[in-house]
Every structure is written in C-alpha cells, then in structure tokens.
C-alpha cells in the first residue's frame, strides 16, 4: 500500500514536470516578460497620460480664461457706464426746471467740454454738450463748442446748421454789446468759411467771408482768409487788391511775403 502510494506520488510529480515543460516550450514569450515591471509601466503610462491631459487643458483654458476675463471686464464697464448715464439722466430731469441749478451744471461742464476739445476727446465733448442742451437748448456757449467739435470732425452739414442757427440767434440778442456782437458774427462766419475750404468749396467759402468783410473790412483774419480763397480761385486781381488792404491794416503780418509769392505764381500761370 505504501509502495503504491509512493509510486502514485512520483507519477503525479513526473506528470506536472512534463506539463510545465510543454507550457514553456509552447509559450517562450512568457520567459521574456518581466512581471515585476508591469505595475511600473502601467503607472508611468497613466502618469504621462494625466500630464498630457493637464497640459492640453491648460492651453485651452488659458485662452478661454483670457477671453472670459475680458468679457467680464467689458460687462462691468458697460454696466457702470449705463448706471452713470441713468444717474445723470435722473439728475438732469430733477434740475430741468431749476434755472439756477441748470446754469450751475452748464457752467461746470463748459470747462470739461473745452478740456475735452483741447485733448481731442471729441466724443466725450459732444456727449457733455448734449447733456447741457437738454437743460438749455439755446445756450450759445454750448452751441459754439458743439459747432467747433463738428468743424474739427469735418461733419460739414451739422457744423453749417449750428453756425447758421447761431448767426440768427445772436442777431437780436441783448446780452451782447455792439462790439461783442460783431466779434461773434465774424467768428461764426470764419468757422463757416473753414468748413467750405476743408471741402474745397471755395465759391461758398468766398460768399461767407465776404459777409464778414461787410462787418469789419479791415479785420486781419478776414483779409487773410479772403486772400487765400482768391488765390485758390486764381483771381489774381482781387487777391492783389485784398493784399494791399492787409498791408495797410496790418503791415507786420508774417504772411504778406508768402501771399506775394503765391499771387506772382498766379500771374505766371495766366
């Protein structure tokens, strides 16, 4: 019995050895696998995948975050601007029927308008003008500044409309004495002349500046502008005639020699 048991054990061991030999011979790749490195490889692959995903996410979100940040800033800036405009509108409504407060508001903002024009911030200057005109639509100081904005912007039609309105408005205005009235009329006519000159419409420019000549025929600025127009129109006779008047009224004028040369050139062309 003991012998049989021993023989059976030996047979089992031999069988196992044979089976193991067959497996190794059939699957030689198993011998090359380093089983201890498998977990490390998996971890390394996972780590690389995580880092790559993070990097890609960072690139996407960095661009998006900049846009989001910009959009948020724009949103809040617009909100603040809208709120400020609403507050201003409400305030203007409140003081509309209060002449003293309206005048105070206009006087304060007149300086802001002038500063904005000086720094060429014309859009802001225009907006402030409109706010003031809601309180006093015929305010001459505000309209003068608004016309200047449109002249600088070369908004021809608007500038012409306002300047013509001002010329009518001051005609019977008792706030100005005779000298002040003349000065204002000449100023508006010179501005109108500039608008037409900018648009190369010298015939209409001449028409406006001739009106100024009727008010003050020896005004150096008017004579200067008129000579320039006659030179552009190649009217040598009138250019020479007005130049003589300029020399009589303002002999120290620095442009006299320039005008002489330009008039001489007209003669040559003719």
What is the reported pTM? 0.63
Q: 112-125 as b/e, with b when 16 or more CB fall inside 10 Å?
A: ebeebbeeeebeeb
Closest among 157, 148, 102, 156 to 126, alpha carbons compared = 148
Per-position pLDDT tens, the chain of length 270: 556 666 666 767 776 776 666 655 554 444 444 444 445 555 566 666 666 676 566 555 555 555 544 554 554 455 445 555 555 565 566 555 667 888 888 999 999 999 999 999 999 999 999 999 888 888 999 999 999 999 999 899 999 999 999 999 888 777 788 889 999 999 999 999 999 999 999 999 999 999 999 999 999 999 999 999 999 999 999 999 999 999 998 888 889 999 999 998 886 655
- Structure tokens belonging to residue 267: 């003669």
CA dist 171 → 69, 143, 168 (Å) = 56, 15, 5
Q: How many residues does the chain have?
A: 270
Closest among 85, 185, 100, 189 to 136, alpha carbons compared = 100
Residue 114 φ/ψ region, left for φ over 0, alpha for ψ in the -120 to 50 degree band, beta for the rest = alpha
- Structure tokens belonging to residue 166: 């001002």
User: First vs last Cα of the chain: how many Å apart?
Assistant: 149
């Amino acid at each position: 019995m003991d012998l049989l048991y021993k023989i059976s054990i030996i047979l089992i061991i031999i069988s196992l050895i044979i089976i193991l030999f067959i497996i190794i011979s059939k699957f030689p790749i198993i011998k090359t696998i380093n089983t201890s490195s498998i977990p490390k490889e998996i971890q390394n692959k996972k780590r690389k995948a995580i880092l790559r995903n993070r990097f890609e996410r960072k690139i996407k979100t960095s661009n998006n975050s900049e846009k989001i940040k910009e959009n948020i800033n724009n949103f809040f800036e617009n909100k603040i601007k809208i709120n400020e405009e609403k507050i201003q509108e409400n305030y203007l409504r409140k003081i509309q029927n209060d002449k003293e407060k309206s005048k105070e508001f206009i006087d304060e903002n007149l300086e802001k308008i002038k500063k904005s024009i000086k720094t060429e911030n014309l859009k802001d200057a225009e907006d402030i003008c409109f706010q003031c005109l809601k309180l006093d639509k015929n305010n001459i100081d505000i309209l003068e500044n608004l016309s200047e904005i449109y002249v600088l912007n070369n908004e021809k039609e608007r500038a012409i409309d306002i300047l013509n309105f001002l010329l009518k408005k001051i005609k019977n205005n008792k706030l100005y004495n005779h000298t002040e009235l003349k000065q204002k009329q000449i100023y508006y006519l010179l501005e109108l002349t500039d608008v037409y000159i900018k648009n190369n419409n010298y015939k209409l420019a001449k028409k406006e500046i001739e009106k100024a000549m009727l008010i003050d025929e020896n005004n150096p600025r008017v004579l200067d502008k008129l000579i320039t127009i006659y030179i552009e129109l190649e009217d040598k006779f009138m250019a020479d005639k007005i130049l003589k008047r300029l020399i009589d009224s303002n002999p120290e004028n620095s442009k006299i020699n320039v005008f002489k040369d330009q008039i001489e050139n007209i003669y040559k062309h003719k």
